[in-house]
Structure 1
Amino acid sequence: MQVHTCKFHHCLVPDKNGQYQCKWRAPFNLSEEDSIDDQGHWKSKWLFSYLNGWVPAITLNACCNNDGKLLTNGADTKNVMFYVTIYQTKKQGKHFNMSALLAKGYAYHSHHTAYLNSLQDNQRLLLFRLIHTINWEQELAAPMVISYLMGWGDTYHSHHYSPVYWSSFISALLKDFPALSHTQGSKEEGKDSGGNSNAAR
């Protein structure tokens, strides 16, 4: 389960009146039990306002964070499909603020820790802490992680391809069919003779 914490520059955004509100609409509305009315408005059992609507059976058996929602129309289904796809593949928008994370992580360590006077140690600690800041905040897609763990590289493909150069192909073809070279030579001689005769005329 994942407890939501509202933070500036993360989920708190200003509205038209200048008031900051959570873009995920936290705190969430509470409900003592699952219910739905004749207008189609539904509520799931929600006892803590900053915890997503988790499904106990999924949490117990899959041991993972989840968020249950009742799909009542095509628009909701479409939105969930887009959300799951973006969450699974970790679109590049997640990395747009990497430079800000680096600056934030470095500023934190500079303020809370004492550095050595050695320039070499300063640079080493700088790189070390920046990398740890990236690892802490970076989100990686599961297919990419599995590909690296299995040693499949940056791309996944079902076949292995080899480059075929046209000159090598022609050489192999003429080697097996020598008559083709004579035919090609005759055509070139005909072109040359035609060109010479036209020039003579």
Structure 2
Amino acid sequence: DMNVLSNQLNLLPACLPTPHPSSPNFISRFRADVVQLVESSNTHKHSDTCYKYYNANRGDKKSCRMRMPRKLVPISTIDPYTGHISMRRSDSWINNFNEYIISACRSNMDIKFIWTGNDAKALVYYITDYVTKMSLSFHDTFSLVQKSITSLQNPNNQLDKENVIEKSRKLVLRCYNTLASQQELSGVQVASYLMNWDDHYTTHKFQGLYLIQTERFLQTELNEMRAKQNLEIASH
């Protein structure tokens, strides 16, 4: 037991197990666990990320984009006119947290109660912007595409004998492979791939729709219909 305790003391609080509710002295252990997590993971420290968009040449004011340090609030209050809730804050460097969530997830967090319509709209905008943002900037994308085009124009690539369709196919494929090789992958994506897990989950079972076969079928039907119309016109 002493060896286990010694090993746990050397681990980061985020790597330690969440105290079990049935364990002796759970309340005191739980509080100590939350304090450790907050001090190690949820206390803000300035880094280059804080000043990611700071530009001295534009005369920008150098301020942390995480809005740290934050204003101390002696007591929690509710504005009766706007409904804005100001929670008590005794430390200007600690992000907002819920003790039960942070103990269960064991990671940093910045929780906020969504009360007003403006906050709700800001949340929707933030989530939408976050999940749809490109991992590559436009100028990086253009540079990679230019690199692909240049490589295909290399005299060593024997493309002169190929037709336009084949050249176009190779160009698109080369651009796609170049961009795909530079895409960032999250830890969740990599783990799911290595564990051979599904990449999506649904509540219902859907029938697969193969667009290429559908397109070929429709094109064939269209060609036959046109041929029949041409025969009818020719017969008259």
Give the TM-score, by structure 2 length. Answer: 0.41
